[in-house]
Amino acid sequence: MSIVKINVLTVPEEQRETLEKRFANRAGTVDGSDGFEWFELLRPVEGTDTYLVYTRWRAEEDFQNWMSGMGQAAHRGASQSQEGAAQGERPRPAASDATLWTFEVVQQAGPKQD
* Tens digit of pLDDT at every position of the chain (114 positions): 899 999 999 999 999 999 999 999 988 889 999 999 999 999 999 999 999 999 999 999 999 999 998 765 665 554 444 444 455 666 788 998 999 999 999 999 999 998
Q: How far, in Å, are 10, 14, 20, 104, 113 from residue 98 at the CA level? A: 6, 17, 15, 20, 38
State the pTM of this model: 0.80
Q: What's the pLDDT score for residue 72? A: 59
Q: What's the pLDDT score for residue 11? A: 96
Amino acid present at 96: S
Distance, in Å, from the CA atom of 91 to the CA atom of 88, rounded to the nearest integer, reads: 9
Q: What's the pLDDT score for residue 78? A: 42
Distance, in Å, from the CA atom of 31 to the CA atom of 46, rounded to the nearest integer, reads: 29
